Amino acid sequence: MTSKGFASATVFSENKVSFEEIGPGCYAYTAEGDANSGVIVGDESVMVIDAQATPVMASEVIARVRTVTDKPIRYVLLTHYHAVRVFGAAAFNQAEILASDTTRQLIVERGQQDKDSEMGRFPRLFRAAESVPPA
């Protein structure tokens, strides 16, 4: 029996990124199963769901958003504490960062540990890791 590697652990090349409208004003920024982001374009502003692993990677999400709207990105919702979802939040300068109390607490408590662990196991998911601010 052969064992299949976990998530991105056995993939070393860049995954193809896509940005597709999945419903009216709702977009999926996906990288073939790697850390993904959702985008909701509202009447007056935009919400991004999950911020990517680095500010440089988050800037690519922002660039894709700009292809469909010039509305301000006012909110970034972090669904959970994993480093590949949260460290890109630093790129959303004017946005309010939203998270549950539990998620925020886990980011504070485990942020550096999770960053070190995920960067060690999945380095390609942290393109431009030097752009990540201290945890």
The confidence score (pLDDT) of residue 4 equals: 46
Mean pLDDT computed over every residue of the chain: 87
Q: Which residues pair with 39 in a beta bridge?
A: 27, 48
**34 vs 52: CA distance, rounded Å:** 10
Mean pLDDT value across residues 85-101? 94
Q: CB of 80 within 8 A of CB of 103?
A: yes
Element (H, E) at 120: helix 101-121
Domain limits, the chain: 18-130
Mean pLDDT value across residues 19-45? 93
Candidate CATH numbers 3.40.50.150, 3.40.50.10320, 1.10.1060.10, 3.60.15.10; the one for domain 18-130: 3.60.15.10
How many other C-beta atoms can be found within 10 angstroms of the C-beta atom of residue 106?
Answer: 17
**80 vs 19: CA distance, rounded Å:** 22
How many other C-beta atoms can be found within 10 angstroms of the C-beta atom of residue 65?
Answer: 21
pLDDT at 11 over 70: no
Give pTM, 2 decimals: 0.83
**52 vs 60: CA distance, rounded Å:** 9
Dihedral sign computed on CA atoms, order 81, 9, 55, 49 = negative
What's the angle, vertex CA 123, arms to CA 103 and CA 126, rounded to 5? Answer: 55
pLDDT at 28 over 90: yes
